[in-house]
Amino acid sequence: MATIANALPALQVRQRLDRLRETLDDAEVDALLVTTLANVRYLTGFSGSAALLVVTADRALLTTDGRYRTQSAEQVAAAGVGDVVDIEIGGAGAQRDAVRSVVEPAPVATLGLEAEDVSWASAMRWTEHLDGAVEVRRTAGVVEELREVKDDGEIARMLRAAAIADGALGEVLPLLSSATERILTEAELALALDTAMRRGGADGLAFETIVASGPNSAKPHHEPGERVIRAGDAVVIDFGAMFEGYRSDMTRTFCVGGPPQGELARIFEVVLASQAEGVAAVMPGVAAKDVDDVCRKVISDAGWADRFEHGTGHGVGLDIHEAPTVSALGTAILAPGVVVTVEPGVYIPGIGGVRIEDTLVVTEDGSRALTNFHKDVAA
């Protein structure tokens, strides 16, 4: 499979620090210590496995260890923030001292910690390390809320990841079609798909690929194993590629050897209808919860309300699951640039399960699918 040409709009990283600073008052802190690695990458371009980023009203400092001395400098410069993000290299103690050197001399009375990422023990260590000179406070979702609306560069990378995944599935689908003539296990199909994504230009997998066949298709997050795929099986394939840190997410369900029969055929019909209704509902100004309601009503009307046991979708970006939540608990209002999945499913033990999923970006007047593989049922 040929690699897709690499010409993408730049990420708008420089603006993100200023947008973050504008939120500090609402978060009731004077500075924010960013420890979630996806948030560090979003704000600086640095993609290493260890980092702290402290942001005040007039300064940003990234600190990491010696493994990333060269990488951090290169990535911060490439992101266009090399002149506004200072870098300090050192061990854990030196990194804590670097953070303290930024917040203590500055007019910083309160330092926010990312409560979803920082343990109680770590929060106590920061309190002790700052010697009471700065009050440590919990914050929630400060950077994540900024990440909800994607810029053109982010959407382009997600579209590239989705195109890689689409191409990979097209490459390996003939293996599934031939499963009635040869021995093909779930694990073999998953490996072939993962390899095809890598060959197509993916930096990595968006998440661990799911291939669930026959009775396993009734398990929403089944791990592919040694079960041999057989004629008549429903096969759920849930997978995604990662490109320059950004992820895709798509699920297709196929029936091996021809159209599904009996109750399985009706499950396919209902889930396809539910997913189509959900996709049509994604548009600016719509509550994320309403998209879930639309999908759930179709399945409930078919008599399977208790067999759709997960949310309809979620945000996607630098993480495979991020805000907003598209479920009965969702509180977000969709806006242009927000990327969400729509993935209803029905799972009946002893018969099988079906899930259909696309990743969509909200536009000014509706939505646009980033994942575009066909939804033909028969493999």
One digit per residue, pLDDT tens: the chain, 379 residues? 444 446 899 999 999 999 999 999 999 999 999 999 999 999 999 999 999 999 999 999 999 999 999 999 999 999 999 999 999 999 999 999 999 999 987 789 999 999 999 999 999 999 999 988 899 999 999 999 999 999 999 999 999 999 999 999 999 999 999 988 889 999 999 999 999 999 999 999 999 999 999 999 999 999 999 999 999 999 999 999 999 999 999 999 999 999 999 999 999 999 999 999 999 999 999 999 999 999 999 999 999 999 999 999 999 999 999 999 999 999 999 999 999 999 999 999 999 999 999 999 999 999 999 999 999 998 8
- The verdict on 156 and 305 lying in the same domain is yes
- The last residue of one of the domains, among 120, 146, 172, is 146
Cβ 252 vs Cβ 354: under 8 Å: no
- Domain membership of residue 363 (yes or no) is yes
Three-state SS at 260: coil
- The last residue of one of the domains, among 85, 113, 146, is 146
Tokens of 375: 């939804």
- The verdict on 182 and 211 lying in the same domain is yes
Tokens of 59: 């300064």
- Domain membership of residue 3 (yes or no) is no
Three-state SS at 203: coil
Range of the domain at 113: 13-146
* CATH number, domain containing residue 98: 3.40.350.10
- Domain membership of residue 1 (yes or no) is no
Question: Residue 336 region, left (φ>0) first, then alpha (ψ -120 to 50), else beta?
Answer: beta
Q: What is the DSSP letter of 357?
A: B
Q: Which helix (DSSP H) or strand (DSSP E) does residue 273 occupy? A: helix 262-281
- The verdict on 160 and 133 lying in the same domain is no
How many CB atoms neighbour CB 376 within 10 A? 11
Instruction: State CA 7 to chain mean position distance.
Output: 22
* CATH number, domain containing residue 240: 3.90.230.10
